[in-house]
Amino acid sequence: MATLRTDRWWLQPVVTASILTAFVVYSTWAAFQNANYYVGAAAHRDLISPFYSPCLAGDCVPGAGHGFAISAWTLSPALIILIFPLGFRLTCYYYRRSYYRAFWWSPPACSVADAHGSYSGESRFPLFFQNAHRYFWYFGLVLNVILTYDAIRAFHQPGIGWGVTVGTIVLTVNAALLWGYSLGCHAGRHICGGSVKSFHQSPLRYKLWKFLTPFNVKHMNFAWTSLIFVAFTDIYVRLVASGAITDYRLF
């Protein structure tokens, strides 16, 4: 590839492509399982995988639902809701940077030649749909509320009472990382305050904007940690639900 760079510029795109591919493969597999996504009262637990929450299908595992269901839906419930976090991340400004580099090689790294002959960026169909990012952000916030509710609910173990298990910690950390990721969203930062002409005349929105800015600075960090952790959370719930491991109770 045309560059005079002598450093290992290819390392970053290779790592990015590997992690994203691994995540897509795993999440697709997990979404189609339609099983082992919930640990219920039988095990004195209330743990739901983030891939399956809210569980909206008609045949959700008892206890996993959130009081509302689309009874006609009989496929995996993950397929209903995963589209939103997927869309949120797919249109995310940070992920765009990463996959345009790692998969599309446009460009693979700075001052390394673009792999394509012609280029129109995000100005045309279909890529101008990236501009819908803010709508996915709104949905992302709703999901964060639900996952936070799931995490809180997990602290109440059916038949035992309030307590802390490894699973509660996993769900809590997961929700926290997802909040960290969503609060750093560029579209959100714009909507909350960045769009105003004069901060001085909108002091509340200025405060909000200032609150969000540090998250925005760390958006990359939250993007990766929350991505990896959400997969880990699903794995953890899946292992407990399948009986492979027990969710250890701390106190």
Partner 1 sequence: MSQVTMRVWRGDANGGDFQEFALERQEGEVVLDVIHRIQATEAPDLACRWNCKAGKCGSCAAEINGKPRLMCMTRMDQLPEGPVTVTPMRTFPIIRDLVTDVSFNFAMAERVPALLPPPMPEDGYRMYQEDVERGQEFRKCIECFMCQDVCHVIRDHEENKQHYAGPRFFIRYAELEMHPLDTNDRRDYVREEMGLGYCNITKCCTEVCPEHIKITDNAIIPMKERVVDAHYDPVAWLGRKIRRRTKRTASEASVQPQP
Considering only residues 44, 66, 153, 186, which one is a binding residue for partner 1 as defined by CB under 8 A?
A: 186
Q: Quote the least distance from Cβ 88 to partner 1, whole Å.
A: 15
Per-residue contact track with partner 1, 36 to 75, x per CB under 8 A? ----------------------------------------
- SS3 for 39? strand
Both structure tokens of 136: 């996915």
Which of 162, 197, 204, 244: binder of partner 1 (CB under 8 A)? 197
Q: Nearest distance from residue 189's CB to partner 1, in Å? A: 8
Please report, as a single letter, which amino acid is at residue 194: G
In angstroms and rounded to an integer, the radius of gyration of the C-alpha atoms of the chain is: 21
- Total of residues contacting partner 1 (CB under 8 A): 42
Interacting residues with partner 1 between 102 and 161 (CB under 8 A): 106-107, 110-111, 113-114, 118-124, 127-128, 131-132, 134
Find out whether 12 and 220 touch, Cβ atoms under 8 Å.
no
Q: Tell me whether residue 10 or residue 73 sits nearer to partner 1 (CB atom).
A: 10
Q: Which candidate, 213, 131, 146, places its Cα nearest to that of 178?
A: 146
Distance CA(64)–CA(38), nearest Å, equals 6
Close Cβ partners of 123 (under 8 Å, ≥ 6 residues apart): none
Q: Between 122 and 246, whose beta carbon lies closer to partner 1?
A: 122
Residue 212 dihedral angles phi and psi, to the nearest 5°: -80, -25
Kindly give, in sequence order, each residue whose CB lies less than 8 Å from that of residue 181, ignoring residues fewer than 6 positions away: 219, 222, 223, 226
Check residue 198 for interaction with partner 1 (CB under 8 A).
yes
What single-letter amino acid sits at 221?
N
Asked whether position 218 contacts partner 1 by CB under 8 A, the answer is no
Residue ranges in contact with partner 1 by CB under 8 A: 3-7, 93, 96-97, 100-101, 106-107, 110-111, 113-114, 118-124, 127-128, 131-132, 134, 186-187, 190-191, 194-195, 197-200, 206, 216-217, 219
